[in-house]
Structure 1
Amino acid sequence: KEKDIMDVWFDSGSSHAAVLDERPELRWPADMYLEGSDQHRGWFQSSLLTAVATRGEAPYRAVLTHGFVVDEEGRKMSKSLGNVVEPQAVVGKYGADVLRLWAASVDYRGDVRISENILNQLADVYRRIRNTARFLLGNIGDFDPVKDAVPFDAMTEIDRWAVLRLRRLARRAIKAYREYEYHVVFHQVHHFCAVDMGGFYLDALKDRLYCEGPASHERRSAQTALYEILVTLTKLIAPVLAFTADEIWQYLPEHAREQESVHLTTWSEPPAETPEEQAFMERWERLLAVRRTVTKALENARNEKLIGASTEAAVELYPNEATAALLGSFTAEQLAEAFIVSAVRVHPAGTAVPAGALDEGTGAAAVVVRAPGEKCARCWRYSETVGAHARHPQLCERCATVVERDYGHGS
């Protein structure tokens, strides 16, 4: 029996010399030592001792420690408890990217939980991100960024908001990657896809994408934003959703792929937000707060069977003085697009608010009424111009103009 034991970790503690010094493609010290939290007095400590003793400095530039994987209730995994989750089984059922997404979603500094319920939730998040990419891809098929892109300053306001929101995401995500805060990347990307895109922008955009002229400024502005969002989002998710990101990349138009694989590209960190851009985003944040009131009012009207689709509605807004100035900086058409309704009317500040108006404390009370006019057979919005065009009596003025100008149905 050996009794003269100096350190049971000595062999692994000297691995920095055996590995980093002996392999020409590596360098000493290591960029990072990565291990579980039980190694603070093990490998990390013995490596530090041997390096300081022989070279006077640490063998690593950084140390990152993580907790252990436990079940949904925080119990240690054990075959006797039947709570072991096999990685290969997860990959077989959900795919490797869902397992990678789970690993990125947890704060690894403590013990991390995994279970079938947690994986099902992560699979839903994965589908949300994937479906966002599918929508973006499906709407840039006829878009050539070289010929069709609209300069940022010439884009519509809502498209500029989307691009600036994307750039905020990129700045936060890149910073989080550099600081190994992968769960921050997960939450930021999920919020962007589920709330900013799926919960607002992409729905508001559909009328312009589907009903404006194919090469119109309005549609090209939207496609310019969608293209930038798709390329940037694909690069941001690539370290986590490695296979999905590369699949998306292969479906990009060939002239839009700067490299054969997304994994051969690099991030382009957006410039710092200017004071003007910050003021622009604050203005839109206030509008989106009003939109939440409108959305709730539309939901109430739908429950009361006043309307079905939101395009059957017109919204009457009764703002306070500050919000009246905000709403006055947008046109009625811009407000209708943001709220996804057929018409919006903003009453002057101080106008008596009718009984039944919804006031959520966002600076404007909202009343939903049936939109005037008839339903356009093409865009499904209600307009008093439906029936005014002799050759296209079922279309609104906008749709009749587009059909005649862009599709040759003028005679």
Structure 2
Amino acid sequence: MTQQTGQDADKRPSYKDTLNLLETGFGMRANAIHREPELQAFWKEKGIDLDLGRNNPGPVFTLHDGPPYANGALHMGHALNKVLKDIINKHRLMQGRKVRFVPGWDCHGLPIELKVLQAMSQEQRQALTPIKLRKKAAVYAHKQVAGQMAGFKRWGIWADWEHPYLTLQKDYEAAQIDVFGTMALKGHIYRGLKPVHWSPSSRTALAEAELEYPDGHTSPSVYVGFPVVDLPTGLRSKLNEQGLDVPSESNALSQCLQVAIWTTTPWTLPANLAVSVNDRLDYCLADDGNGRLLIVAAELCDSLATKLERPLHAKATVKGADLAGITYSHPLLERRSAIVVGGEYITTESGTGLVHTAPGHGVDDFNTGRKHGLPVLCPVDEAGTLTAEAGPFEGLNVLKDANAVIITALEDSGSLLLQENYSHRYPYDWRTKKPTIFRATEQWFASVEGFRTEALTAIDGVQWLPASGRNRIESMVSERGDWCISRQRTWGVPIPVFYQRETGDVLLNADSIAHVKALIADHGADIWWEKDEVDLLPSSHSAEAHLWRKGTDTMDVWFDSGSSWASVSSQRDGLSYPADLYLEGSDQHRGWFQSSLLTSVAVNGTAPYRTVLTHGFALDEKGRKMSKSLGNVVDPMVIIEGGKNQKQEPAYGADVLRLWVSSVDYSADVPIGAGILRQLSDVYRKVRNTSRYLLGNLHDFVP
């Protein structure tokens, strides 16, 4: 074999130029903990997000941000919401639309007030004035906003971070006063004594949106017999026609005839002023075998007999209308009341078909009482303690010891037919996580009835995604009562009213509203607590300032956030009203979507949004709600930065968090957990390596 010489070797062909060698600075590993903050700093330095939003040639696109509450750490619900918004905004940017995303925060309300109070000693609290509390609350809120904003930025959210909207800002508060004032001048705001959801733990009224209904609530329900002391002549005749003869004398009658009622709130019995019936239902007088007749709905006679564990034999049957006018004696107090006709809320689904009616402690009770001219008796104070009007039960707390004491008293009087525990949905204060009650108090209300038809019409003009959202909010608006907008707290926007010291008459007119609005626009809502009536009243009344006192109530935080369109989307440059899109969790049909709709329709006759999109909730991998007690909480910042144990909780970076949001069906509840994150990390790695290969291929490409 011939050997190759050195000269021949030098002539061998080179294949280097025939190979496609990849060249790219795009690393195989993301190194997200370091690279992502560098990239975000570059965005900020160059103003990339804002420049794109301003300079695009297309029309304005406004996604109006629903304000998260300025309290607590960010969670996966925040991540799902904000990243979805960011994806949509960037998509619109790529389409050439002008996009200015203004982030917002809800900064007033009880949770912040409580945080401030909890950080103080008893001595400090006693020396605390309302204005000092407000100053401390504002500092706390700003600190919380700064912390949450840093988290949102770390997630790669593009927004006008230099100009967010906060519900504690002067211009925002002034716009809110204007919304309230316009509604008042249109006749949509009134003050009245009505039963409202009351939180003894917070000592304030609550709106429906501030309630939650946890599983597992049990109440001590009682069946009680109210002794009858007089029958209408017409009813007595009808009973005689059926062969039933009852005594005429009151004492004898009360021994043999009782009105059977059922209630899950025994503590309201001292406030009983009537028993209500459905005039169209059949009621029977049933013999219980112990020489006593019980009046009960005919359809419920057998079920009551089963509960009492003894037979009930109907001796006569009459219509509910025939029972109206029966006089009965209160089993625990020296009080006589009557059976009255109620409404369709009285059914045969449970109970006895006769409803214990306390006008001061229930909406149906109140409406029935008003129809029949009954007083609004509410023997419960703001702490949930029974007052002197409750007679021997004064001093008992309605959520602690009142039920047990009253049940014992019923048993001693011989009026207790049955006591049993009853599991049902019961409203809790969403902040303190403690039960609420219905309590009649003087409150300020927005009369939804005055613009309900307009609101329903506006709903039809909005695109709802998914479409089921339309039916949901339509049902809520159709059925909701008047909106209680006053709160007995300090940290909030004041209800700008004055009361005549002698008569209690209210001053709320165009001049007073305009004057307070101007003061708040210049100084912020603190001015209401810093100044006296002589400065707060309009010039037309300042000379008689000594005759007036300013109100102490603040507005419901849902009125705060529900007025955001008035100071943000309808006022700021680069935004549009109605907004193109509102995007929040499905729970906001009863919250922000609804409060925004009601205020906007009441003031302007239009919805504040063109499209409403809802997403589900973030759950753990087993489909359970996240909670500290279950130990299944996933922290978005741990996903990004990693946890204490990097093997169990590695740092995935913001892109993996964002990939999770973009990969799920957001219209339903979505799971997240360690297993899902590992899968997403693998997907992300494949996408990154594929992108790296493509970029390497294009290194010498000249278009």
What TM-score, normalized by structure 2, do the two folds share? Answer: 0.20
Bigger proportion of residues as strand: 2
Structure of greater relative contact order (alpha carbons < 8 Å, 6+ residues apart): 2
Larger Rg: 2
Bigger proportion of residues as helix: 1
What TM-score, normalized by structure 1, do the two folds share? Answer: 0.34
